[in-house]
Amino acid sequence: MIAIVDYGMGNLRSVQKAFEHLGTQAQITSTPNPLLQAQAVVLPGVGAFGAAIERLNRSELVSTLERVIAEGKPFLGICLGLQLLFESSAESPGIPGLGLLAGRAAGFRDREGFTLRVPHIGWSALHLTQPQSPLWADITEGSYVYFVHSYYLELHDSSHIIATCDYGGQFACAVQYGNLYAVQFHPEKAARSAYRSCATFCGLWTALHAKRGSTPALAFRLRVMELEPPADQLPSGIEGGAFQNLGTLGVDHDADAFQLIELVVGSGRFDG
C-alpha cells in the first residue's frame, strides 16, 4: 500500500487515481500510522510554499515523514512536494522548509534575462542527467511531462539532480538522494489532447521491498506511454520547450485539475 500525505494542500485524488489505474492500492491519510505501515509514501503539493509548510507543521506529520525517509522507505515528492523538502523558497522569505535536502526554490522571474511566461504551464521534454536512476526505468530521454510552477530548484549539490528541463534555460526537475525521490512535474496528469501528441498517460508505481529492512531494489518508477504522432510531429505552439496554448494541454478532466489551472493562471504565483 502507498500512503499519500494529506495536509490540506494537494491534488490528492488525481495522484490516488493514477496509482489505482495501475492496479496499486493507495490511501490518502492525514495521520501517522498509515504512513508508518505503508510500503511507500508520496508527498504531493499544490499551492504556496509558506502556507504548505504551515499546514504540514500543524498536521504534526513532519517527524513521521522524517522517520519513514530515515528508515529507507521509498518516498516521492511531487511539484510543491519537491520544493518543501528543501531549505527555503523565494516565494515565502524567512519561512524554513523541511530542510531534508540542501538548496532552495528560486523564482523564474528572478533569473537574469528570463523572458518566458510565468508560470511555466504545459508539456516539456525531460533531459535525463542520470538515466540509470531507478526512477527512469520506463522513461526515455526526451519524454514529455506536465509542469505547472513558478519556482525552480537551486541545489547545493548537483549530484542529486537526475533530470533537467529547458524553460528559458535548464533547471533541475527531478532529484534523488538514496530512497528519497522528488519531481517538479506532475506524473499523475494524463494527456487528453485532441492531438494525442504527448503522453496519453503518465502514472507512477512502486515496487515492493525485496526484504523487510533492506533497501528496495526499486523505489519508484515513472511510466510514460507515448502514442503517435512522434515528438517531431508535435503541434505548433511550443515555446521554450512547453506548450503555451492552454487549449492543447489536455489535463485530466476532473475537478481538481480545472481548479489547478484556475489557481495558477489566476494568480501567477502558486506552484502545483
Specify the amino acid at residue 234.
Answer: L
Structural contact between residues 1 and 26, judged by C-beta atoms closer than 8 angstroms = yes
Angle at 204 between CA 58 and CA 21, to 5 degrees: 100
Active site residue 79: yes
Active site residue 188: yes
The whole-angstrom separation of Cα 181 and Cα 176 is: 5
> Which residues neighbour 96 within 8 Å (Cβ) at sequence distance 6 or greater?
53, 87, 88
Helix axes 255-267, 12-21, angle to 10 degrees: 140
Catalytic entry in 120, 160, 173, 188: 188
Number of Cβ within 10 Å of residue 207's Cβ equals 16
Q: How far apart are the first and last CA of the chain?
A: 24
Catalytic entry in 160, 186, 209, 226: 186
Structural contact between residues 6 and 60, judged by C-beta atoms closer than 8 angstroms = no
Handedness of CA 14, 24, 175, 126 (dihedral sign): negative
Query: Any idea which residues carry the catalytic annotation?
Result: 79, 186, 188
